[in-house]
A and B are shown apart, each in its own frame.
Chain A
């Protein structure tokens, strides 16, 4: 069977978050009920599942966390007290303690949605940001910036089907993650695409920027504290996400986990909360609502320049960061740097492109335009069958569900390259990196970092020729991604000029400079960072 086209009119999808505040207490109560009931049931097995172990795990992790914090030792008294009391506590007392902890962490996580802030952010907010985005800040140019705001952050791709899915069921937007600017960028991207706003989990460290924090707090973001490593917290977090999905709240997860340090198009996805989509759908099937569908919408966020490029690539190359510690003092937390980013970088037309792909179901199946799941052979398949047993009963199997989520992750990782949008900065970086690598006889960044400055000059004509060839290869391989549509009509020399302007304007040190007919690579590290966006494109043989 082939996918069919829907004859239903597609209207702007409803903003379900407007009812979130009214729902909040009910959602929290449901999270508490489920987590407590499950933990008490599991505790009967004893050992690691016993409430004594679970509560002690919380106390131990909290004490360890607070030990390293200023004024931490004072705050840890509550946890030391709990740890001491555990031995003598009755089962009822432990259950009560469990209930209180689940409630406490639930309240720590839960988000808020203020329609007034949303109205501001989607109405006056972009206008204000538009002025910020103005490169020179004069009133006339500021007004021009307002008029061109749509062109600055653009959204394209399979938008109609994503919007139809948001009407028919609940969407889970899963973008690539390369910057802390991703949350506002995808928020604006959804707005441009006339897609509804989503709730999402934001690392608590992001709330250090008061300006962004205000918006995040009031636009449906919930807080994820990655310092809390104990199972009970993860349990509450996952259940919260599951309950939101079951109640039809459109969500957003970054399946790559943390920001991609190297700037490659992510392929090894950590998945994280994405697994809650299978759980939520299974629960809906069990409750007799198999047609309340969930759709996973892949998306890429493509920046002409990345706010935190310097910190991220340093972290990547030093191999200190990756996922081992959370950067709290990068460009995102410095207001001045953020404003400079807005002024100098985002002011450029089409500097951020959000591209949406065709949605999948929670099992990685593609869907028809009507939202029906289709298997790899193109047949319509009942998604509820994936969670049913031999006699049609819904079965619980965490390992099976994790495998389903991995299958979904593989589909997303396959979709991302195709959805990648290359800016002039990526194209020129790739061409120059290829040339440096050809001369040095290696693509190894650590060797190229030691190349003599004299060997880092490339003739403008050679760079333009390289761009022409790269464009031709991209045209033949749509699965690798595509050039920013706004610049496809430009001559290769114009692409070079545009890239040099971008790469020379924002970072503390220019990445590439032009002197007469030559381009000079000043920062090989950042050149590598930007060319990495094309790393999935094989070298020319």
Chain B
């Protein structure tokens, strides 16, 4: 298989491994890169990642710790690392890439002030301009089990979307849609983590389906407003990266959802990607003068500025406006 037909995956965490698994099982050539030699060894010997043992990683998938090899063998790369590692990883990887590479990230996060989206952070570290984002309701466990999943790849470059769809489509397990709305998809993907905490909280407090539905729809409405104010399209939030994620993420395996439940139980929990996105999103909303009572309430609870009860009252008492 040629370099043009190879997918490089940066990061052998749960999502990177799951995606690699789906693609490798569909016959796509995959080069999986990890900094951890132990992880690479495990993949080579056991044909599975220690981070997601349920996902088989059959040949022709190859694992490597050598970024030079990754860049030489694959032009299309998926960055699947933790949001806190993006800047360092992009810079490290950038030493081996050039302007012809295509890099999409699969990181639903915002930086701490909401000033930069992940693609903007990537742009500072990578030589290529052909960047994009991959997002949607594809849980690692579902991908590992080969269950039906869909994602969306967003980029301003037609070539990135076309290559993303060509190389990542692995029907029936994974179907990939395309959109130009990078801003919308990145914000929707990041904020859906924050709203997943809110849904965990809601469920933890034992609320019925009525209030849950209100929470969900208000989240979509205010998320759409933020997307639009930030330069994206409002409708994107109602797509795979926004609503799609919100429908699938509230489950026991989600750290964001678990955090919400712990907060409902009076605990503090461990900060998650969604918690960081809540704080950053609230900052961004304030800067853009976008009214987001649900997100602001979540950010207040997570930062300890408000109790769960206070936040719930704030959200419930927020003025209903005509939209």
Bound together: yes
Question: Which one, A376, A391, A400, contacts B123 given CB within 8 A?
Answer: A376
Q: B1-30 interface mask toward A, CB cutoff 8 Å, 1 = contact, 0 = none?
A: 011100000000000000000000000000
List, in ascending order, chain A residues with CB within 8 A of B99's CB. Answer: 363, 381-388
Residue B129 at the chain A interface, CB threshold 8 Å: yes
Question: Which one, A382, A397, A407, contacts B98 given CB within 8 A?
Answer: A382
List, in ascending order, chain B residues with CB within 8 A of A379's CB. Answer: 94-95, 127
Within 8 A of B (CB), among A357-410: 363-364, 375-377, 379, 381-392, 397, 399-400, 403-404, 406-407
Q: How far is the CA of A179 from the CA of B157 in the complex (A)?
A: 35
List, in ascending order, chain A residues with CB within 8 A of B4's CB. Answer: 389-391
B94 touches A375 (CB 8 A): yes
Question: Which one, B124, B128, B157, contacts A399 given CB within 8 A?
Answer: B157
**Contact A385:B98 (CB < 8 A) given known A363-B129, A376-B125, A390-B2:** yes
Q: Which residue of A lies closest to B76 (CB)?
A: A390
Residue B89 at the chain A interface, CB threshold 8 Å: no
Residue B290 at the chain A interface, CB threshold 8 Å: no
List, in ascending order, chain A residues with CB within 8 A of B128's CB. Answer: 386
Total chain A interface residues with beta-carbon distance under 8 A: 25
Closest chain-B Cβ to A483's Cβ sits at a distance in Å of 30
B159 touches A404 (CB 8 A): no
Q: How far is the CA of A392 from the CA of B130 in the complex (A)?
A: 16
Within 8 A of A (CB), among B227-246: none
B3 touches A391 (CB 8 A): yes
Residue B91 at the chain A interface, CB threshold 8 Å: yes
Question: Which one, A377, A383, A385, contacts B91 given CB within 8 A?
Answer: A377
Total chain B interface residues with beta-carbon distance under 8 A: 22
Q: Which residue of B lies closest to A365 (CB)?
A: B127
List, in ascending order, chain A residues with CB within 8 A of B296's CB. Answer: none
Within 8 A of B (CB), among A430-468: none
Q: How far is the CA of A388 from the CA of B123 in the complex (A)?
A: 19
Question: Which one, A377, A383, A400, contacts B124 given CB within 8 A?
Answer: A377
List, in ascending order, chain B residues with CB within 8 A of A375's CB. Answer: 94, 126-127
B100 touches A400 (CB 8 A): no
Residue B156 at the chain A interface, CB threshold 8 Å: yes
List, in ascending order, chain B residues with CB within 8 A of A406's CB. Answer: 156
A386 touches B94 (CB 8 A): no
List, in ascending order, chain B residues with CB within 8 A of A388's CB. Answer: 99-100
List, in ascending order, chain A residues with CB within 8 A of B98's CB. Answer: 381-382, 385
List, in ascending order, chain B residues with CB within 8 A of A397's CB. Answer: 158-159
**Contact A400:B94 (CB < 8 A) given known A375-B127, A386-B129, A389-B100:** no
Q: How far is the CA of A397 from the CA of B162 in the complex (A)?
A: 12
List, in ascending order, chain A residues with CB within 8 A of B124's CB. Answer: 376-377
Q: How far is the CA of A363 from the CA of B130 in the complex (A)?
A: 11
* Shortest beta-carbon contacts, A-B, top 3: A386-B99, A390-B4, A385-B98
Question: What residues of chain B have their CB less than 8 Å away from a CB belonging to chain A?
Answer: 2-4, 75, 91, 94-95, 98-100, 123-130, 156-159
Apart from A377-B94, A399-B159, 12 more pairs, CB < 8 Å: A375-B126, A379-B127, A381-B98, A385-B99, A386-B128, A388-B100, A390-B75, A397-B158, A400-B157, A403-B156, A403-B157, A406-B156
Question: What residues of chain A have their CB less than 8 Å away from a CB belonging to chain B?
Answer: 363-364, 375-377, 379, 381-392, 397, 399-400, 403-404, 406-407
26 sample A-B contacts, Cβ–Cβ < 8 Å, listed by A number = A375-B94, A375-B127, A376-B124, A376-B125, A377-B91, A377-B94, A377-B125, A377-B127, A379-B95, A379-B127, A381-B99, A385-B127, A386-B99, A387-B99, A389-B4, A389-B100, A390-B2, A390-B3, A390-B100, A392-B100, A397-B159, A399-B157, A400-B130, A400-B158, A403-B129, A403-B157
